[in-house]
Structure 1
Amino acid sequence: MSRVIRLAGPAALVAAAFVTLIVALAFGGGANARPIGDPGAVVRFGLPIAKMLVNLGAALTLGPILLALFALSAKKDEYHRALDIAAAGAALYTVAAGMTGFFTFLNVTGTALSFDDQFGSKLGMFFTDVELGQAWLVTTLIAATLTVLCFAVRGQTLMVFVGILAVVSLVPMAQQGHAAGSAGHEAAVNALGLHLVFAAVWLGGLVTIVLLRNALSGDRIIPVMKRYSTIALVSFIVVAVSGYASAALRVGTWDQLFTPYGVLVLAKVGALIVLGVFGALQRSWLIGKMAAAANTVGRYFWILVSVELAFMGIASGLAAALARTATPVPEELGGTPTAAELLTGEPLPAELTAERYFTVWNIDLIWLLICAFGIFFYLAGVVRLRRRGDRWPVLRAVSWVLGLLVLFYLTNGGVAAYQDYLFSVHMLGHMGLTMLVPVLLVPGAPITLAMRAINKRTDGSRGPREWILLAVHSKYAGFITNPIVAAALFVGSLWVFYYSPLFRWATVDHIGHEWMIVHFLLTGYLFVQSIIGIDPVPVRLSYPMRLLVLLATMAAHAFFGLSIMSNVGLFLPDWFGAMGRTWGDPPLIDQQNGGGIAWSIGELPTIALAITVAIQWSRSDAKDAKRLDRNADRTGDAELNEYNERLARLAKADAGDEGAATAGPDADQVGTRGAERSDAVSGQGRPGSSA
């Protein structure tokens, strides 16, 4: 296939993106001159173009890295070429982010470009003291670091951390946007962050496959396309859901869909639908054709991919234009904000009642999607096992699904809606995350299911199964899954979190809040896994020791709750004490109620753990007894006979020392008593079985 045809796809992407951006800016008014403080046409058009290049650079960084980690073989040239593409993408990302920061400075300040000391001083102050400038400076520095790392790091395991850094680089951009000053800020950050990450993976992955086509010789393209198709399907779902959430926040009502911003949103939805159709064609037609006759579908492959990339370019241009178009919903809070609005960005909700625990919702899109995908992939694994004739206990699946449903409620339901206003509700959610949810998730044995259901890779690449095995067998996993370490993390993190600045960070900052959920969910999961877990771990305590650790943990946990109940000062007086609530208990009483929840309700899952350990202990003894009984039946009580003979020999040796006259009777009596003692110890006439 000629070079011209291979370059048609990337060329179509870039051309469609630029043309769409210019047209959308003209239609939506994003490039119109401002009546006061207009920065000039260069800035009005340069800023959205630079922002679009940032998105493309991020895609060409994140997409190749993800393919290298999950689809390509590190033993082949395809892997290293993908990382070269990621390095080039990161270089574009760096330059574009720096340009965007510079144009943002000119746009926000209205300062004319000059080369004097005053201009440089203002620019430096913008990047070091202003939050918006700091965000673009951080993005530029991370992108520059990624450029170096993609050249220097080639090991697959280390590339995981490079990929995490690439995702982190998008966080400052996610914290910007039209909803930054309006109600729904946290929802807007989540939606934009998910949109940026998965759109980058989707677009960057496809461009990487196009650029790697020559390296994917023969039938090698088929498994890579299948793996990318799965990634693209997940990305399509996340992009569609997050795009809808963003549009709902910014458009508001249906009639405002006919505003310039709404029309551009509709155009982007149309492009997304077309891309979904192309994705379906890839999965249902193109991959099958390539597998059946690889030499006859090359032209169809390039045509389909080129058109798909063109529509991705249209979507990218529309996204950049939307960022510069006025939204129907005002960006800033109207009127005089209340204390609650100043602190949380949201109006104070109505008084909390038992009914509102289940009727008020505060959707966290990240955890909604995690729970949905967690249930889907778990059940898909169960279905795969059953189709090949293997069994999977129903109660394990029920426990897993129930645990994720509880997690969804705690992160999206009434608890999530009121936890910023009432410490007691916050503590209720915390106890649920760290104690109740893990008690339900751990019996689901997700690692065991994954090892049985996910196919093993044989081409040198690493799929989910290989990455899970690598993580489980790592030294770090062996350390944190140690029962003593897990218990220390479980209890110690409670004290460190609430009696350090971490609590303030998790309360006032959305990133801190998400970290809090992940941290306490993981520490709770590790602790429960060490007590009643089914999945294999390097170190497993005996049942008596598990009960001892559990009782010690319960005591420390109760002491933590009592310390909060007896506290006479608020943890965050300028937050919980300044919310302006006119309903509910006073802040200090509410905080003491939270301590009571940690002490009383929080202990209920611990009691359930103790009962479960006792049941497992009993069943383990019963299994050991049956195993020893079966062994005795197979060997004809050989172990018991050998034991009695050994006692008889010892008795004869003792009797020989006392004299030949008494040796026989004593030996017989001792031998008889030894056999009787053996029967008494075994309980069933077999040594070693449990009573």
Structure 2
Amino acid sequence: MDESVTLVRRGALGVLAATGTVAVLVGVAFTGVSAAVAIGDPGALVRWGLPAVETLTELAASLTVGALLLAVCVLPRRAPARVAPARVGASDTAPTSDTGKAAGTPVLATGRTPAVDGSAYPRSLVLAGVAAGAWTVLSVVHLVLAYASVAGASPTSPSFGDELAVFVTQIDLGRTLLSVTTVAAVVTALALVVATPTGAAWTAALSLVALWQLGQTGHAAGAASHDLATSAMVLHLVSAAVWIGALGALAVLVGRLGTDVVPAVARYSVLAGWCVAGVAISGVVNSVVRLGGWDGLQTRYGVLLVVKILLFGALALLGLAHRRATIPRLSGPRGGVLFWRVVLVELAVMGAVSGVAVALGSSPPPVPEAAAADTSPAYILTGHPLPPEPTTLRWLTEWRWDVLLACAAAAGIVVYLRWVRRLRRRGDAWPWLRTASWVVGMLLFAWTTSGGPSVYGHLLFSAHMIQHMVLVMVVPLFLALSAPVTLLLRAVPARATTLRGDASRGPREWVLTLVHSHVGRFFANPLVAAVNFAGSMVLFYYSGLFEWSLRTQVGHLAMVVHFTLAGYLFVNALAGVDPGPTRPPYPMRLLLLFATMAFHAFFGVALVGGEGLLVADWFGLTGRPWGPSAIRDQQLGGSIAWGIGEIPTLALAIVVAVQWTRDDERTARHRDRRVDRDGDDEMDEYNAMLSRLADQDAPRTGGSA
């Protein structure tokens, strides 16, 4: 192994931690946050130690997430080799090589060993476990120092322990930090136990839950635009963690990559590109929310923000140069040196960006985090000012952006169009109607989750019902008819091949894994999809889930994801072309469709005739001077559920009927071609049977005459 590669593997994390710590200490010194206060000063150890520990905690969390995602979708993984059945002996195993591989490596049926090394894959899970262990320890220290800073008390105070117990059990910030520490400890245990990409994916999802919780703290929790700032912070933390952590993990594992270095770095480069976009978009949103205007750039906070932007720009350019110039040359004789040069510089800049980001989070922004001046009931209830009375035009012009869902819609359009372009470049056709259907569906999704239905859906039950019915019935109709899974399978090449022995999972493999899993087959079953499509609506509105979706962002996102996915599974089971369900005969499809139509009608009628207000302490306390009363608006929502539910259902019934007609015509054409080619055996057998019956009846007829 090249000496430079050894150097970067041993010193990469040190460079990342050192630059991050130095940057955060310089940043807090520049903003004056580290200065002693006259009353309630926790001491220099807390004032200087908290931002440094917070930086190291975030870097450890990033390394955990990055190492897990390398195992999920980046690192080549050795597939079980198919041993030639002719004979098994000394010649059927590869000899021990001078690189340290043990003898006994199976040989493929072709007599060649797999081209994939695969040694880095299990090491990535070990690295994730070690990083998560460091994350857990640092989170405990961060929790202690965070309370000392908030309370203005020294950790050496005699009553500090009792006060800390109250902090982690009764205060929101303390409970959040304790929850993050607990999640980090669980991730530590899981990362050291799991061995498959599926297990790594579940563990990575759990670690992202901790990042989500961290996104609820800091400036985002007290910003005037709370929902916007929080969702932007979550996107920022996740994107930065994947970007920084995966590169740091690659630097540590580079000595184990061997021949896998080129595909691993190339796959990471694609992942990093999406992370750059996520960090850029969320950074712009955070800056707008916290600066309050161009004058904010003249403050110390604004200067620090400019430094972060410049470092981020340099980092993005380094990544672009890495992708264009370095990756194609990694397989050459000086590939290790090139990898060392690029990675070490990138990690140093990443550490500096992380330190500056923590310094920003520790510094007061120009927009004061004070109590809101708006004391209207609508603001107290929803966290947003009361919008003007809805009109037809305002349904289109009023917007309140949900950064996560808007970015998901934009990314969906970009990815779909790129896949279509890839097909056309190689000469394959893709129906333009499917492309148009996908774009319309994504635009409708963005409008429903960030436009008029979202703005008024927190105040009017009728507006919420419009949002709900569009998500569950209109958007899925466009998405299912655009056949995204079919396009994916055609546009994205398979990653796992027998000769290469790569059992890692890219987008294609993960989608196929989900489609063919027991859970995927169960929910894609047409009957289950119909029950889920209709029954979950009753469970949602007549339980605490509805109120949960109104009061919390997590509940709102869960509602959006569940009902959009439930609608897609139902439409795909009846009229879609994507793989997955075993579709029933067309009469059964229409029967399921009309059954759900009747259910929606009964649900709407129940709301129209109901006198009890759903979530009365929400819709009954909005204090809006316009619009109908809360109970009248709920009854109007029932009419909307009935009316909007019937129109797309009727459109879906027409689609099923057209598909039925085309299927009959296609079957008839196939039969005609078969008859022209081979003759009509069925008709010949039928005529022969009639002839035998006529011959049998002839003697009896003659005798009676």
TM tier, smaller: over 0.9
In structure 2, the partner of 1:245 is 285
In structure 1, the partner of 2:507 is 464
**Percent of aligned positions that are identical:** 44
Deviates more, 1:550-559 or 1:107-116: 107-116
In structure 2, the partner of 1:10 is 13
Contact kept in structure 2, 1:358 and 1:414, CA below 8 Å: yes
The within-5 A match list for 1:273-422 is 273-291=313-331, 294-335=332-373, 337-422=375-460
**Distance across 2 between alignment mates of 1:380 and 1:16:** 37
In structure 1, the partner of 2:130 is 88
Contact kept in structure 1, 2:76 and 2:264, CA below 8 Å: no
SS in 1 for 2:222: coil
Give the alignment partner of residue 247 of structure 2, picking from 200, 206, 210: 206
Deviates more, 1:5-14 or 1:593-602: 5-14
Structure with more contact order per residue of length (Cα contacts < 8 Å, sep ≥ 6) = 2
- Measured after TM superposition, the shift of residue 248 of structure 1 is 0.9
**Distance across 2 between alignment mates of 1:643 and 1:335:** 87
- Measured after TM superposition, the shift of residue 119 of structure 1 is 3.3
**Distance across 2 between alignment mates of 1:652 and 1:130:** 96
**Distance across 2 between alignment mates of 1:514 and 1:29:** 38
- Measured after TM superposition, the shift of residue 654 of structure 1 is 5.8
- Measured after TM superposition, the shift of residue 639 of structure 1 is 3.2
- Measured after TM superposition, the shift of residue 440 of structure 1 is 0.7
SS in 1 for 2:391: coil
**Distance across 2 between alignment mates of 1:91 and 1:6:** 20
Give the alignment partner of residue 165 of structure 2, picking from 111, 115, 124: 124
**Distance across 2 between alignment mates of 1:389 and 1:654:** 64
**Distance across 1 between alignment mates of 2:222 and 2:611:** 35
In structure 2, the partner of 1:184 is 225
Equivalent AA in structure 2 for residue 246 of structure 1: N
Contact kept in structure 2, 1:561 and 1:595, CA below 8 Å: yes
Deviates more, 1:518-527 or 1:566-575: 566-575
Map Cα deviations across residues 354-379 of structure 1 (whole Å, 9 max, x no partner). Answer: 22111111111111111111111111
Contact kept in structure 2, 1:182 and 1:333, CA below 8 Å: no
**Distance across 1 between alignment mates of 2:323 and 2:373:** 52
Give the alignment partner of residue 137 of structure 1, picking from 178, 196, 210: 178
The within-5 A match list for 1:468-487 is 468-487=511-530
Deviates more, 1:473-482 or 1:71-80: 71-80
**Distance across 2 between alignment mates of 1:5 and 1:336:** 54
In structure 1, the partner of 2:589 is 546
- Measured after TM superposition, the shift of residue 535 of structure 1 is 0.9
Give the alignment partner of residue 604 of structure 1, picking from 637, 640, 647: 647
- Measured after TM superposition, the shift of residue 506 of structure 1 is 0.3
Contact kept in structure 2, 1:143 and 1:166, CA below 8 Å: yes
Contact kept in structure 2, 1:179 and 1:250, CA below 8 Å: no
Give the alignment partner of residue 649 of structure 1, picking from 666, 679, 692: 692
Q: Does 1:447 align with 2:485?
A: yes
Contact kept in structure 2, 1:135 and 1:172, CA below 8 Å: yes
- Measured after TM superposition, the shift of residue 345 of structure 1 is 1.5
Deviates more, 1:534-543 or 1:494-503: 534-543
Q: Does 1:503 align with 2:503?
A: no
- Structure 1: where are the runs of 5+ without partners? 666-691
Contact kept in structure 2, 1:632 and 1:639, CA below 8 Å: no
Equivalent AA in structure 2 for residue 18 of structure 1: T
TM-score (norm 1): 0.93
Equivalent AA in structure 1 for residue 579 of structure 2: P
- Measured after TM superposition, the shift of residue 289 of structure 1 is 2.0
**Distance across 1 between alignment mates of 2:420 and 2:697:** 63
Contact kept in structure 1, 2:290 and 2:366, CA below 8 Å: yes
In structure 1, the partner of 2:77 is 74
In structure 2, the partner of 1:563 is 606
**Distance across 2 between alignment mates of 1:322 and 1:112:** 24
Contact kept in structure 1, 2:330 and 2:338, CA below 8 Å: no
Map Cα deviations across residues 600-643 of structure 1 (whole Å, 9 max, x no partner). Answer: 12211011011111111111111111110010000133332232
Contact kept in structure 2, 1:9 and 1:307, CA below 8 Å: no
SS in 1 for 2:308: helix
**Distance across 2 between alignment mates of 1:79 and 1:477:** 27
**Distance across 1 between alignment mates of 2:395 and 2:701:** 86
Map Cα deviations across residues 478-513 of structure 1 (whole Å, 9 max, x no partner). Answer: 111111111111111111111100011000111111
Deviates more, 1:343-352 or 1:329-338: 329-338
- Structure 2: where are the runs of 5+ without partners? 79-117
Deviates more, 1:26-35 or 1:355-364: 26-35
Map Cα deviations across residues 323-350 of structure 1 (whole Å, 9 max, x no partner). Answer: 1101111112343622222111222122
- Measured after TM superposition, the shift of residue 152 of structure 1 is 0.9
In structure 2, the partner of 1:151 is 192
SS in 2 for 1:85: helix
Contact kept in structure 1, 2:28 and 2:359, CA below 8 Å: yes
Give the alignment partner of residue 216 of structure 2, picking from 175, 178, 191: 175
Q: Does 1:435 align with 2:499?
A: no
